[in-house]
């Protein structure tokens, strides 16, 4: 069972490379980048895994302040499990202290849902993580909605957010970063109460 002093591994899921930067599938990277800005550090290449990492602390001073390893796997999305498991093992993070931030098709654009465990809902990043270390990690699910018309899911997630969505995106990414901080400082139930929509 994990202890309050155990570190947290917060993983933004996405695809590496400039052509993917603004894709819906990369919203996990966007939230991780904002958290890095808040910590006041820069991502560096991990020695032990195919990932960019930043070590720091999240939360208010005092007992709710948490040691965190922030990570962006540099494998492609469907291979995320390898780098995440390598980081979990290297930093000795209990699986229930791993948080995946990812895009979610079955939630309306901009809505958030936090949960512990569960299925992968067809998300290749989660599928890879669950295969590598089991399902008992936290998820911060960022709604992107379903593709319009007959558009294929794969095409939809690898497209940039629409101009209408981009007007709200900065606010929504900020809210998702707040939700991650709340999850670490206040625990899952309180964070769900405040942010699940």
Active-site residue set: 25
Residues in the chain: 197
CA gap 81, 87 in Å, rounded:
10
Cβ atoms of 29 and 93 closer than 8 Å: no
Return the ∠ at Cα 142 (arms to 85 and 101), rounded to 5°. 20
């Amino acid at each position: 069972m994990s202890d309050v002093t155990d570190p947290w591994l917060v993983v933004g899921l996405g695809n590496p490379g400039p052509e993917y930067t603004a894709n819906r599938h990369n919203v996990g990277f966007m939230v991780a980048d904002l958290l890095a800005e808040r910590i006041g550090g820069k991502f560096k290449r991990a020695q032990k895994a195919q990932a960019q990492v930043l070590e720091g602390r999240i939360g208010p001073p005092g007992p709710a302040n948490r040691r965190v390893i922030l990570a962006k796997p540099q494998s492609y999305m469907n291979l995320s499990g390898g780098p995440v498991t390598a980081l979990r093992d290297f930093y000795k993070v209990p699986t229930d202290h791993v948080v995946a931030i990812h895009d979610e098709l079955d939630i309306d654009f901009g809505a958030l849902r936090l949960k512990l465990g569960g299925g992968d809902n067809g998300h290749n990043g989660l599928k890879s993580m669950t295969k590598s270390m089991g399902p008992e990690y936290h998820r911060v699910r960022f709604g992107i909605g379903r593709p319009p018309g007959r558009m294929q899911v794969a095409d939809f997630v690898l497209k940039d957010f629409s101009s209408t969505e981009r007007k709200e995106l900065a606010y929504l990414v900020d809210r998702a970063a707040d939700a991650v901080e709340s999850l670490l400082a206040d625990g899952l139930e309180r964070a769900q109460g405040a942010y699940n929509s």
